[in-house]
């Protein structure tokens, strides 16, 4: 999502699956065209994520691609790090003021779910559902 609640990438995953395992797939599909000539951007400056994205694998992926991560750390991960003492390492960098902007993602999901068929997933086939999501994404970009 960009700062105007418009989706940049649409991927339909399994309904019972979590959000965190989808992060590498989302980043691999991300393409943002430049205003002038040149290749599209494939690397965001910053990723804002909730506690679900605070896995070692996600942080390593973002670090390897040079993407800054502003992801809260769950209490159990904080406790494990503190329990290990010096061996637990430093806490990951976190900017609380920047994290306040993450509400854009939640608002964008709510705007997508304004269409009742998408919120309740009446469609039986994933292709039909994906078509509805893409159509809603187009309408959000046109507003």
* 11-64 per-position pLDDT tens digit: 888 777 788 888 899 899 988 888 889 999 888 888 888 888 888 899 999 999
For 57-82, the pLDDT digits (tens) are 999 999 999 999 888 888 888 898 88
* pLDDT classification of 132: cutoffs 50, 70, 90: very high
The answer to whether 53 and 23 are in contact (CB under 8 A) is: yes
pLDDT at 73 (0 to 100): 87
Strands (E), the chain: 46-49, 68-71
Alpha carbons 39 and 110: distance in angstroms, whole number: 32
pLDDT at 135 (0 to 100): 93
Alpha carbons 132 and 140: distance in angstroms, whole number: 12
- pTM metric for this prediction: 0.78
Q: What is the set of domains in the chain, with CATH numbers?
A: 20-142 (3.30.420)
Alpha carbons 12 and 22: distance in angstroms, whole number: 10
pLDDT at 22 (0 to 100): 87
Structure tokens given for 81 = 């790090």
């Amino acid at each position: 999502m960009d700062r105007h609640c418009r989706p940049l990438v649409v991927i339909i995953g399994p309904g019972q699956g979590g959000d965190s395992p989808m992060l590498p797939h989302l980043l691999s599909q991300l393409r943002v065209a430049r205003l002038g000539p040149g290749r599209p951007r494939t690397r965001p400056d910053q990723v804002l994520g909730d506690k679900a994205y605070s896995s070692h694998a996600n942080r390593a992926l973002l670090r390897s691609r040079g993407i800054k991560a502003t992801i809260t750390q769950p209490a159990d991960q904080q406790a494990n790090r503190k329990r290990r003492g010096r061996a637990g390492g430093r806490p990951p960098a976190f900017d609380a003021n920047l994290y306040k902007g993450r509400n854009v993602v939640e608002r964008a999901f709510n705007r997508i779910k304004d269409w009742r068929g998408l919120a309740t997933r009446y469609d039986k086939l994933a292709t039909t559902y994906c078509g509805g999501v893409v159509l809603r994404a187009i309408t959000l970009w046109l507003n």
